[in-house]
Amino acid sequence: MMHRLAEKEQAVSPLLTDMYQITMAYTYWKTGRHCLHSTFDLYFRKAPFGGSYALFAGLQDCLRFVSYYRFTQSEVDYVKSVIPSCDQEFLQWLLTVNCASVTIHAFEEGSVVFPSEPMLRVSGPLAVVQLLETTLLNMVNYASLMATNAHRFRIAAGPEAKLFEFGLRRAQGPDGAMSASRYSMHGGFDGTSNVAAGFQYGIPVFGTHAHSYVQSFCSLSDCFADTKHFISSKDSEMSSQAFRDRVTRIRDTLDLASRTSDGELAAFISYAFVHPSSFLALVDTYDTIESGVPNFMCVAFALFEMNHQPIGIRLDSGDLGCTSVKAHSAFHGIAEMYVSRFKAPRDGVLNMVSKLSIVASDEISVPKLLELRSMNHEITAFGIGTHLVTCREQPALGCVFKLSSVQGKLRMKLSEDPAKASIPGEKVVYRLYDQHNKAFGDVLALSDDKSLRGGESVELRRRQRPENVITVVPHRIRKLLQLVWCGEPDVKQLDPQQYIKMATSRMKMDVDELDSEVVGVVCEPKEYPVFITSSLYQAMRKLQCLIEIRNESDR
Amino acid sequence: MMHRLAEKEQAVSPLLTDMYQITMAYTYWKTGRHCLHSTFDLYFRKAPFGGSYALFAGLQDCLRFVSYYRFTQSEVDYVKSVIPSCDQEFLQWLLTVNCASVTIHAFEEGSVVFPSEPMLRVSGPLAVVQLLETTLLNMVNYASLMATNAHRFRIAAGPEAKLFEFGLRRAQGPDGAMSASRYSMHGGFDGTSNVAAGFQYGIPVFGTHAHSYVQSFCSLSDCFADTKHFISSKDSEMSSQAFRDRVTRIRDTLDLASRTSDGELAAFISYAFVHPSSFLALVDTYDTIESGVPNFMCVAFALFEMNHQPIGIRLDSGDLGCTSVKAHSAFHGIAEMYVSRFKAPRDGVLNMVSKLSIVASDEISVPKLLELRSMNHEITAFGIGTHLVTCREQPALGCVFKLSSVQGKLRMKLSEDPAKASIPGEKVVYRLYDQHNKAFGDVLALSDDKSLRGGESVELRRRQRPENVITVVPHRIRKLLQLVWCGEPDVKQLDPQQYIKMATSRMKMDVDELDSEVVGVVCEPKEYPVFITSSLYQAMRKLQCLIEIRNESDR
């Protein structure tokens, strides 16, 4: 949240966790198991939005959280109040807990990740890592979902369209909104309407005016109720009055007065006079084509005569594609009229008109963008709110945090549904490349497994169908998990703006290496194989038998 | 977010707004319109989740926001950086902006609200109220959606079932999670797993253990790795060793050893020994009926022998209804065996068994609850996560903030879609009651309209079909909008816990007064009429003609 806080104070409390983490920690402590060296994996089982991948995000928040992980006395007192029977000595221990003996390996922020791959691998004392579970999940789940969703909007809109996040009013409270603004950048957005996100993360911010602004004007006399603030030298090139007169002269000469709203024109005149170099008008308060666009053009020509380039218009209702075409055609029609009636330089006017943006912003979704791309439209930028920030098509990523080893011994969770079984052991993840530098599969391997090398043949198994052996010869391999925390951060500290740039560039590199059918927005994305090594498969089989046998008779 | 902050520091920054609010404020200021007295309504057009109503929530956050509304120098410097051309004098003005000349009327927190009714009516200087828009929407939108969603879960689960919010890991970041925990209480939940919400809002917190806890145990020898922490006097009534032996003796005598997991039993023994008065076991790590339930029962009997009442079991996978019936029947079957083999007091044992809870917690949705209610099941409590906190069925409420008057003159937004047209004027809302104290409709009226009185006949029109006049005689009327802010808070300051109680009790009162088909979870809820008074209708007609005429020829 946009609190006015130092880094340390921005850290969330260790109490932001599920109660069962604390009852478990107490049980571990009391039974002498709290220091057992354990490893947990944070991953998703199924890619979101019917796609094949997700973008990993949230690492910076996780690292801040572990950096300042400490219970205060009042927090420990609260724990005592909810577990009244717990030992005083446990509370003393809780006061000493920190993450100095925890290590975290992670994908780079912005990476393309596939199901079952540990985005975070967290090792350390059993009770401590257990205590971190819920908060890490909270920090990775929405961040990654949001970045992935934003990327889908980017893919659907195509590389040319400008994309702005407009979801502040519809997000899950202040923090939800801040995360939405930040992680939409990871997915390839160009900016946000959220000023606090601009302030805090250095994200470009955009915005002009609302319907209520237009409605607050009734007539041309409302233009400049009070001009006492027009006193600075830069206003002196033209008085507000002269600007208004210039606009109305253009309107009258072009015969545009008959169906346009005076209040709307007054609103546009005021806005343009105050923001001459960033005039973008919301044109659908009354009637887009009959009133909004003609009014906009009159003001645009007045600015043009003063050597300012107007920015364009915003459409917030109706059939956006169709209206954008009509508006675009009206730009040109009115411009020709202007050239002829004012004997204006044709090239200059057409050049000004060719630079006008049409921003659309009414309930834009991924299917809506795909529909627009398949038809004729003139929209150059999109403001995207509800569907982006709520991730309406799938509002939760569903990451899990599963125990994979205790004191070096492998652990796995079996399930009637094999897809829900976890993969045991302390693991690493590799990406495999062919000679054209295209990624063709990822591999999960136990961290001590040295069988995988670039240029050498290796036997692998599909994570989902491990019965069959597949032999591949990767031209090159890349290790995807990096050490990011070993009692202290092991990554370069970047300011938020640099960090967003780094994540976006990692996203672009990863996406470029992948088949566009894997990271596209299609109904049935091409499957990207996630393999396991033969030794990991053998270890899983052995463990599975052990668990099943023990459940049967092994006592 | 669970920051460790004083009230003032918890207030969000005025920058948590859309950029266009600031460009508009600058335009208003520059053109001398910033002080025009204006009124805006915050309302939703369509009730969420296909229902007829919403619960209003978020008021406390809104009041905190306006209480501490002040730009800091660094925030103003940032504004300068994004509007480089703006006047220094405007920035000076921005530094002086506060909400001393703003008034806010609102529904009571927890109220049942219907479409078009202003949940907030905000009046004050045009530029100041405009600056508040986005943040107020952000604070009301998710809070109200969440409270409404929680209430639907409560209705679907029935009044007897316990409901716990378990969504921390799936919410939109830390704040989203805190809001989810808090506003689920408004809708009728009994508690949360979120410890920070317990600490901050005094909400009851619940939780026991996870699958990873069970998996961390392999054999009975893992029970008590180290007993040095069993030193306090309350442990002395029975050693950990003796407790374990008691449990295994019960297991062996009941012949339950053959298909149960030793690791799971060890996990249960440890948990129960550490938390003897709150033993609730997650029983589906291996096999619920073959291993989890029998293991749980062995430990439950051992506790029973020590005069502790075990709490029950939690199911987190599979067919919850069917498994709960099987588990319930297994409780009784194993209990009968225990009574006969141990010559235990039958009444006492059956009494213990009858008190056992069955908690279910796997992807519970409203349709899932309705399905469970229509079949045989033995679930007594639900832990609800993803579907609750993400409001999956409709993740945004879509409240709007519309200008309704400027300097006493009415304003309305027309739209091709009549449902999207706003209702002009400074309005009040009444609820109408019949002689049985049942609410039968709400009325929007201009605030100076005195035509509505209890016991007197009045002519009204439906908001949606205003052509027809309806005459009603309310037995009693109740004014729903209260003054809550007039430059300072006009409501009693309550601590968060009292505040939640107050909101929940308002919700219950409102729900009790309404037809259960209006506030139920049904596919086609009974329509609850929202009326407008005749004078409001006349005012709207007049304004509509004016706007349309002006658009045509009025110049």
**Residues of B in Cβ contact (< 8 Å) with A550:** 261-263
Domains of chain A listed by start with CATH number: 33-56+99-145+395-552 (3.20.140.10), 208-227+236-356 (3.20.20)
**Amino acid at site A513:** E
Identify the closest residue of chain A to B271 by CA–CA distance: A27
Q: Of the candidates A148, A24, A112, A322, which has an alpha carbon nearest to the alpha carbon of residue B271?
A: A24
Rounded Cα distance between A35 and A488, Å, is: 19
Instruction: Give 10-residue mean pLDDT values along chain B (555 residues).
Output: 48 93 96 95 95 96 94 96 94 97 97 98 98 97 97 96 96 89 97 96 95 93 75 61 94 93 95 95 94 98 96 95 98 97 96 98 94 95 96 92 94 77 94 96 94 92 90 96 90 85 97 92 84 94 74 38
Determine contact: B263 vs chain A, CB below 8 A.
yes
Rounded Cα distance between A438 and B163, Å, is: 50
Rounded Cα distance between B384 and B373, Å, is: 16
- Report in angstroms the alpha-carbon separations of B506 from B182, B439, B499: 15, 14, 11
∠ CA A346-A347-A350, nearest 5°, is: 80
Rounded Cα distance between B40 and B372, Å, is: 44
Q: C-alpha B212: how far from its chain's center?
A: 29
Rounded Cα distance between A389 and B184, Å, is: 21
Question: Which stretch of DSSP H or E encloses residue B445?
Answer: strand B439-446
Rounded Cα distance between A82 and A69, Å, is: 21
- Give rounded-to-5 percent helix, strand, coil for chain B: 45, 15, 40
Q: Of the candidates A388, A395, A378, which has an alpha carbon nearest to the alpha carbon of residue A156?
A: A388
Tokens 């329509």 sit on residue: B527
SS3 B287: coil
Q: Of the candidates B399, B367, B378, which has an alpha carbon nearest to the alpha carbon of residue B137?
A: B399
User: Given an 8 Å threshold on Cβ–Cβ distance, is B173 in contact with A168?
Assistant: no
Q: Of the candidates A110, A148, A147, which has an alpha carbon nearest to the alpha carbon of residue A525?
A: A148
Q: How high is the pLDDT of residue B555?
A: 33
Is residue B60 within 8 Å of B143, Cβ to Cβ? no
Is residue B153 within 8 Å of B144, Cβ to Cβ? no
Q: How high is the pLDDT of residue B554?
A: 35
User: Given an 8 Å threshold on Cβ–Cβ distance, is A23 in contact with B209?
Assistant: yes
Which of B37, B168, B172 would best serve as a mutation to test chain A binding (most A beta carbons within 10 A)? B172
User: Given an 8 Å threshold on Cβ–Cβ distance, is B12 in contact with A22?
Assistant: no
Q: How high is the pLDDT of residue B139?
A: 95
Is residue A69 within 8 Å of A14, Cβ to Cβ? yes
**Residues of B in Cβ contact (< 8 Å) with A275:** 23, 26-27, 83, 85
DSSP structure class, residue A107: P
User: Given an 8 Å threshold on Cβ–Cβ distance, is B27 in contact with A270?
Assistant: yes
Q: Of the candidates B97, B203, B188, which has an alpha carbon nearest to the alpha carbon of residue B506?
A: B188
Structural tokens at position A269: 């005149």
Residues of chain A with pLDDT under 70: 1-10, 225-227, 231-237, 416, 522-523, 548-555
Rounded Cα distance between B420 and B48, Å, is: 16
Structural tokens at position B174: 């830390």
Q: How high is the pLDDT of residue A552?
A: 42
Rounded Cα distance between A268 and A259, Å, is: 16
Cα torsion B374, B375, B376, B379: sign: negative
pLDDT one-digit tens code per residue, B470-517:
999 999 999 999 999 999 877 777 889 999 999 999 999 999 999 999
**Amino acid at site B194:** N
How many helices and strands (H and E) does chain B possess? 18, 20
User: Given an 8 Å threshold on Cβ–Cβ distance, is B226 in contact with A33?
Assistant: yes
Rounded Cα distance between A495 and A507, Å, is: 18
Q: Of the candidates B69, B130, B43, B86, which has an alpha carbon nearest to the alpha carbon of residue B480?
A: B43
Rounded Cα distance between B353 and A189, Å, is: 57
Determine contact: A228 vs chain B, CB below 8 A.
yes
CB neighbourhood size of A259 (10 A): 14
Edge-to-edge strand list for the sheet holding B162-165: B191-192, B162-165, B381-384, B357-360, B312-315, B280-282
CB neighbourhood size of B498 (10 A): 12
| CA dihedral of residues B493, B166, B209, B272 (deg, nearest 10) | 60
Residues 6+ apart with CB under 8 A from A307: none
Closest CB from A142, A196, A207 relative to B23: A207
Is residue B246 within 8 Å of B305, Cβ to Cβ? yes
SS3 A350: helix
Exposure string (b/e) for A223-255, b if CB count within 10 Å is 16 or more? Answer: bbeeeebbeeeebeebebeebbebbbebbeebe
Cα torsion A81, A85, A86, A88: sign: positive
Question: Which stretch of DSSP H or E encloses residue B134?
Answer: helix B126-157
Q: C-alpha B457: how far from its chain's center?
A: 38
User: Given an 8 Å threshold on Cβ–Cβ distance, is A176 in contact with B176?
Assistant: yes
Determine contact: A239 vs chain B, CB below 8 A.
no
Rounded Cα distance between B285 and A403, Å, is: 13
SS3 B388: helix
Closest Cα in chain A, distance from residue B220 (Å): 10
**Amino acid at site B107:** F
First and final C-alpha spacing in chain A: 54
Tokens 């507000």 sit on residue: A240
Residues 6+ apart with CB under 8 A from B127: B24, B25, B28, B29, B33, B34, B35, B97
* Residue ranges of B 362-401 with Cβ closer than 8 A to chain A: 386, 390-392, 395-399, 401
pLDDT one-digit tens code per residue, B391-416:
998 999 989 999 999 999 999 887 76
Identify the closest residue of chain B to A76 by CA–CA distance: B199
Residues 6+ apart with CB under 8 A from A382: A153, A157, A161, A162, A163, A164, A359, A360, A361, A364, A369
Rounded Cα distance between A147 and A388, Å, is: 10
Cα torsion A177, A180, A183, A185: sign: negative
Determine contact: A544 vs chain B, CB below 8 A.
no
Is residue B490 within 8 Å of B483, Cβ to Cβ? yes
Determine contact: A340 vs chain B, CB below 8 A.
no
Give the E-state strand segments of B183-235 in sequence order: 191-192
Question: Which stretch of DSSP H or E encloses residue B359?
Answer: strand B357-360
Helix extents (H) in A168-292 = 173-186, 195-201, 211-215, 240-253, 262-274
Q: How high is the pLDDT of residue B489?
A: 79
**Residues of A in Cβ contact (< 8 Å) with B397:** 170
Is residue A378 within 8 Å of A354, Cβ to Cβ? no
| pLDDT > 90: percent of chain B | 81
Is residue A176 within 8 Å of B142, Cβ to Cβ? yes
**Residues of A in Cβ contact (< 8 Å) with B22:** 195, 207
Closest Cα in chain A, distance from residue B247 (Å): 16
Identify the closest residue of chain B to A58 by CA–CA distance: B173
User: Given an 8 Å threshold on Cβ–Cβ distance, is A240 in contact with B414?
Assistant: no
- Give rounded-to-5 percent helix, strand, coil for chain A: 45, 15, 40
Structural tokens at position B43: 């309302």
SS3 B460: strand
* Residue ranges of A 66-95 with Cβ closer than 8 A to chain B: 72, 75, 78-79, 82-83, 85, 87, 89-90
Q: Is A426 left (phi over 0), alpha (psi -120 to 50) or beta?
A: beta
* Residue ranges of A 154-173 with Cβ closer than 8 A to chain B: 166, 168-173
Which of A212, A241, A295 would best serve as a mutation to test chain B binding (most B beta carbons within 10 A)? A212
Is residue A126 within 8 Å of A21, Cβ to Cβ? no
